[in-house]
Chains A and B, each alone.
Chain A
Amino acid sequence: MSNAAAVVRSPPARRRRASVVGGLARAGLVALVAAALVGFWELYHWVWVSTGWTWPFVVNDTSMPHVWTIYHAFGQPAQVNQPALINVLLHKTAFTAKEAAAGFGLGALIGFALAVVLAQVRLLQRGFLPYIVGSQTVPILAIAPMVVLWVNPRLPGSLQGWGAVAVIATYLTFFPVTINTLRGLQSADPRALELMRTYAASRWAVLWKLRVPASLPYLFSALRLAATASVVGAIIGELPTGLQDGLGGAIINFNQYYSIEPQELWATNVIAAALGIAFFVIVVLAEKAIVRRAPEETA
């Protein structure tokens, strides 16, 4: 018995060791890629400046500041009597991350619920699906000011300001989740469906035991898209609200001083990029934790 257990247990142990090695290799790869990007950036800068090429755009220290200039900008205050830029940006990042996370959670829930309803009632699916697809062609930034003006006064005090931005993040999040979950719910093995039917399984049982597990991989690929979309929504949502507490406000602000101090806008954008990637990585890790466990449950 114990022997058998050991035999069963050894492959995961080996897999874990392999995953540690794989993780190290991946970290090395990331460092290598970052170094290559920096090198490419500086090389491009040097070639274009020394040859005087102006296509597709003029390269100088304003249009493409040196990597070390951007790096130094983090340590310096953006304005006199202010903490270092990195501290300011981290506070703003936390604020934007809060908006994005709230929007992501709400959007994923709404998107999933909508997909379940649409998968159950075909008539609703026919009626609403074209508009759900169409809703994404609405340029969200254009409605953002109206959404903010409309939502903000109706929110309780603690949600004022950032709550309205989270609504915009929700709007961008729900769509990929709905579309992909719907496809996932409908991707259940027809043979398994027939088997469930011969057992006279209820609709509810078919949904939870068969359709939802089948939709999980689809759901997670949508959540990966939605993770980025929620950050985009939070940043875009801040633009028309005039909120200064988040990264979107910082982008607008530093954009006005771009001709004097371009490195500050670049520094802000580097942080915004990192935030998007962080959201993405969190979803990928969650997927690994959840979807790996799935086969054990079904077996």
Chain B
Amino acid sequence: MTLRPRIGVVVEWLPPLVVFALVVGLWEGLVRALHVQQFLLPKPSTIISVFWTQRHVLWPAGWYTFKEALGGFAIGSGAGVVAATVVGRFRTAGQALMPIFIAANAVPIIAFAPIFGAWFNPIQPQSKMAIAAVLCFLPVMVNTLRGLQSARPRQVELMRSYAASELEIWRRVRVPTALPFLFTALKVASVLSMIGAIVGEYFGGAMNALGVTINTDAQIFQFDAAWAGILVASLLGIALYSAVVVAERLVVRWSPEARVS
């Protein structure tokens, strides 16, 4: 009984670790064996060493961009939940507005990044927060609305037969049904917010922002530094994603979905 969980942890973690070691080893070995030019694909060992030597530049830059992403994530997801709650309350409004949101969801919003730069000063973090917020808003809004509307009619009828108020039904049936949908969207949004902040910085941003740093390094062919910056961006993105996953496991304990991914 005491051994069981430990074996489970090993079984869960061993395959990813083996794959990681294999991929990094193969990368390092192939770059060395085939003499791939340093500027095209640096060795993992080089990236790590640059990652360490430039940590005083990379981490503050990463933190700056992370704050933009976090702000956009909070604003966009918050607005998405509020909008879905309002729209979900009025059925006809929801049905009329749904096609707009679906169409808006199909728009490549990243293409509007330069316009956000023109609206807000591109040097100010607000412009990146705005683009990240718009990117987060749509999936959160659409998924939350779908979640609020996917409560089983029988459950709602049962609540009604107990003379439960609409608020009570909302709190005890609709919100719990919507939560797994919401967290799925938040996971998507966490990744999008980081991408939005970095892509936004490509069109101009503060000098100490991560997107600008990566872009400048890539333009002057310092690809080891650019890859080190990408590593920072990925680590921060994974951190935000993991935070959402942890929150999901804490909040949505009853759903089997939460345990799968």
Contact = CB atoms under 8 A, between A and B. Distances in A.
A142 interface: yes
A280 interface: yes
A102 interface: no
A138 B105 contact: no
A269 interface: yes
Given A128-B19, A228-B108, A279-B106, A139 B218 contact: no
B163 interface: no
Given A33-B99, A236-B199, A272-B108, 18 more contacts: A63-B118, A63-B119, A124-B15, A137-B237, A137-B241, A138-B230, A139-B198, A139-B199, A139-B230, A142-B215, A142-B226, A143-B230, A146-B227, A149-B40, A251-B111, A266-B115, A269-B111, A276-B106
B170 interface: no
B41 A29 contact: no
Determine chain A's interface SS by DSSP, over half rule: helix
A134 B261 CA distance: 12
A126 B238 contact: no
11 contacts: A26-B99, A56-B130, A63-B119, A126-B15, A127-B15, A138-B237, A139-B194, A139-B199, A227-B106, A228-B107, A272-B108
A228 B108 CA distance: 7
A133 B19 CA distance: 14
B140 interface: no
A123 interface: yes
Contacts of A247: 111
B19 A127 contact: yes
A141 B202 contact: yes
B111 A235 contact: yes
Interface in B235-260: 237-238, 241
A258 to B, nearest CB: 5
Interface string A255-299: 100110010011011001101110111000000000000000000
B234 interface: yes
Q: Contact residue range for chain A?
A: 35 or more
Nearest to B245: A133
Interface residues of B, number: 53
A73 interface: no
B162 to A, nearest CB: 33
Given A57-B119, A63-B119, A150-B41, A142 B106 contact: no
Interface string A90-132: 0000000000000000000000000000000001101110110
Contacts of A29: 96, 99
- Please give me the 4 A-B residue pairs with the lowest Cβ-Cβ distance, nearest first: A137-B237, A127-B15, A280-B106, A126-B15
Contacts of B117: 255
Contacts of A63: 118-119
B198 A141 contact: yes
Contact of B108 (A33, A56, A273): A273
Nearest to B202: A141
Interface string B60-77: 000000000000000000
Contact of A137 (B103, B191, B219): B191
Given A127-B18, A127-B19, A272 B111 contact: yes
A277 B112 CA distance: 15
B111 A142 contact: no
A231 B229 contact: no
A26 B15 CA distance: 50
A140 B237 CA distance: 12
A136 to B, nearest CB: 5
Contacts of B238: 134, 137
B218 A240 contact: yes
A219 interface: no
